[in-house]
C-alpha cells in the first residue's frame, strides 16, 4: 500500500557548530597593574585551524582599529612608503 497525502516528513538540518565552542577569553592583571584580556584556544580539537583563523582575524581587526586611531591609516603611518 502506498502512502498518499499523510503527514509530511520534516527535514532536519545538520546541527550548526557553535561559533565559540573552544575559543575562550580570559582576563588577568598584568605587571603594569592594568587588566589584560587574552584569547585561549584548545589545540587538541578538530577545529583548531578554523578557531586559530578566527582569532587571527579578530587580532588584525583590533590592530587596524588602533592604527586608525593613532595614525589615521589602518596599515602604516602616513608619509611612509
The three cell numbers locating residue 47:
577545529
pTM of the complete model = 0.55
Q: Is the pLDDT of residue 63 over 60?
A: yes
Distance of alpha carbon 16 from alpha carbon 4, whole angstroms: 33
The sign of the torsion formed by the CA atoms of 51, 74, 76, 72 equals negative
Beta bridge partners of 37: 27
Q: Please identify which residue in the block is written with the cell numbers 581587526.
A: 61
Q: How do the domains of the chain map onto residue ranges?
A: 24-71
Span 12-51, pLDDT tens digits: 665 555 454 557 888 989 898 999 888 888 888 888 898 8
For the chain, what percent of residues have pLDDT higher than 90? Answer: 5
Instruction: Please give the pLDDT value at position 73.
Output: 80
Distance of alpha carbon 50 from alpha carbon 54, whole angstroms: 6
Instruction: Please give the pLDDT value at position 67.
Output: 87
Amino acid at each position: 500500500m502506498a502512502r498518499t497525502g499523510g503527514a509530511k516528513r520534516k527535514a532536519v538540518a545538520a546541527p550548526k557548530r557553535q561559533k565559540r565552542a573552544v575559543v575562550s577569553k580570559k582576563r588577568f592583571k598584568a605587571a603594569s597593574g592594568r587588566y589584560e584580556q587574552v584569547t585561549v584556544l584548545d589545540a587538541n580539537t578538530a577545529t583548531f585551524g578554523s578557531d586559530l583563523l578566527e582569532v587571527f582575524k579578530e587580532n588584525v581587526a583590533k590592530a587596524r582599529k588602533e592604527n586608525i586611531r593613532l595614525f589615521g591609516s589602518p596599515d602604516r603611518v602616513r608619509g611612509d612608503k
